[in-house]
Amino acid sequence: MTSKLNGAEAMVQMLEAHGVKHIFGLCGDTTLPFYDAMLRGDHGMTHVLTRDERSATYMADGYSRVTGRVGVAEGPSGGGATYILPGLIEATESSYAVLGITTDISVGSYGKYPLTEVDQDRLMQPLTKWNTVIKQSAHIPRMVRTAFRAMTTGRSGAAHLGLPYDIQYDQVDPSDIWADPKHHSYPAYPQAPEQGSAEAAVDAILSAKNPLIVCGGGVVISGAMEELSRLATRLDIPVATSISGQGSLAETHPNCLGVVGSNGGTDQTWELMEQADLVVFMGCRAGSTTTSRWEAPTAAARIVHFDNDPMVIGANYRTEVGVVGDLRLALAQVNAVLDASDQGADTFGGATAIADIKKRKFDVFRKFAASDEAPIRPERVIDALMKVLPPDATVVSDPGTSCPYFSAYYQLPQAGRHFITNRAHGALGYSLSAALGAWFGRPTSKVVALMGDGSFGFTVGELETVCRCRAPITFVVFSNSNFGWIKASQHADKDARYYNVDFNRTDHAAIAAAYGVKSWRVENPADLERVMREAVDHDGPTLIDVVTQPLEETNAPVRRWMG
């Protein structure tokens, strides 16, 4: 820290003070002072140059999900700000802490029609948890602290900081460079529920005959997995998840039912949703996908709801007991209440019911996974992944073809965030970029990215970034030459009247090879497992282009195509 500090240097030092290790971004003319400060400063942060600002925020998102720390993305003014926005929307709605920094035109040129002028404040305001465009260099340290405080406390989410060009050159007081270490990760300053709410939740659960816990992403974000496992085991209560909630329990846990709802749920897992006389939502907003557009639980079912966001409680269902607070602290209180009453196991028979449901579900899966049909069935791809991936692998999926199959059938052997997908807004092109962020955040884990060929076309340019970073990620492309989810929707909802959903077949392996990625194209099902194993074991980026059955012809685990 020098006795003189300009705004750009202050921004770099404030990020360092908040424990930032990686920044993902793309250069621009308004970013020149910021990049010079990163180059000249002794800060220990790694800047990853991306090929698209949207990709930068998806990388920051994937990084944040596996580390529990704030992911940072940056980009220039004008188009850079508009491109960076989609990733901030996803992070906010999915409750992950991502900071978007967009440099801007000079404050002194506002309103004079300079090149790349856009009102960043109004652009970002409705779609981030917290946002500001800094107008004075002296405000930089305080605004950075406020952004990190907003992102990491309460329901986590994205923040945006606009950094105009001229204030990057103005002076900042070096004594104002400091950070609260609690805001290096999230949830920061977690709040316990109000007194008596845990007891009320326990009383409600124990009064039910067929209760079901349904977990969303909040369980993993709060680190409540061990407390949940203890609760599920001692009460022998079934635990279902949303797609975002996968990892709340290991899916090999005897009380883990798996995903329920319209995407990734099956008729077998849906049985317990329909039968439940009390549903306990945990860190789950009870949205359209998990409830299959509120088909179940029905209005007659009793509801207990745990969440750290009070706005979620009672939003979609009349709630008997609401428990507002950090999930880890709340479930610790629940277990303490049960400890006091010496409540043991074998209460609800969940493990037995789940064993029967899983047997029937996987009987169907294995029939299709063993098929030698060509094009290759998606089930066979998931089966091959289960055979070759290590237990601690991190899998990132786009929301299209691969997501429901993986969510329904892949049995995650460990609790925690080992499966990542952008469920809030479902933008295509997410997984290729987010996988690189996940690798930077968890480099010892084998990272695999799953996507359809429609998604591949969105962010293929980031294969250059992956090769430049020498990241040993394996990409699996489900190639069916169409935007599969929409074609399947037209098949189901429009009597197979297809319109503008098909595109030309592309050799994705050849494209990836041109970037320097070791690649295979697989059309014969008999080759799939061997190729998958070679790709996963290779010490470098790999891609498998799998020619798969069109989604509208499959036995997809999708109860409703329209979310």
Q: Which helix (H) or strand (E) holds 448?
A: strand 447-452
At 344, the pLDDT band (50, 70, 90 cuts) reads low
Of all residues in the chain, what percent carry a pLDDT higher than 70? 99
Name the one residue in this structure whose structure tokens are 């494209």.
511
Q: Which helix (H) or strand (E) holds 272?
A: helix 267-275
What backbone phi and psi angles, to 5 degrees, belong to 220?
Answer: -70, -40
Residue 155 lies in a domain: yes
Residues ≥6 apart with Cβ < 8 Å to 458: 428, 429, 432
CA 237 to chain centre: 26
Same domain, 176 and 265: no
Where residue 530 sits, what CATH number does that domain have? 3.40.50.970
Task: Tell me the C-alpha distance between 223 and 437, whole Å.
Answer: 20
Task: Tell me the C-alpha distance between 504 and 249, whole Å.
Answer: 41
Task: Tell me the C-alpha distance between 352 and 165, whole Å.
Answer: 63
Same domain, 78 and 154: yes
Q: Across residues 129-141, what is the average pLDDT?
A: 98
Residues ≥6 apart with Cβ < 8 Å to 433: 50, 52, 54, 55, 56, 58, 59, 62, 459, 462
At 1, the pLDDT band (50, 70, 90 cuts) reads very low
Length of the chain: 563
Same domain, 386 and 489: yes
Task: Select from 298, 323, 353 the last residue of a domain.
Answer: 353
- The number of distinct structural domains making up the chain is 3
Same domain, 378 and 345: no
* pLDDT tens digits, 62-99: 999 999 999 999 999 999 999 999 999 999 999 999 99
Same domain, 347 and 443: no
Q: Domain range for residue 159?
A: 5-183
Higher pLDDT: 561 or 214? It is 214
Name the one residue in this structure whose structure tokens are 């085991």.
233
Task: Select from 183, 215, 241 the last residue of a domain.
Answer: 183
* pLDDT tens digits, 414-434: 999 999 999 888 899 999 999
Where residue 213 sits, what CATH number does that domain have? 3.40.50.1220
**Mean pLDDT across the chain:** 95
Task: Tell me the C-alpha distance between 390 and 468, whole Å.
Answer: 25
Same domain, 89 and 35: yes
Residue 358 lies in a domain: no
> Which residue type sits at 330?
A
Is the Cα dihedral 403, 405, 407, 413 positive or negative? negative
* pLDDT tens digits, 145-175: 999 999 999 999 999 999 999 999 999 999 9
Prediction pTM value: 0.96
Residue 363 lies in a domain: no
Residues ≥6 apart with Cβ < 8 Å to 524: 374
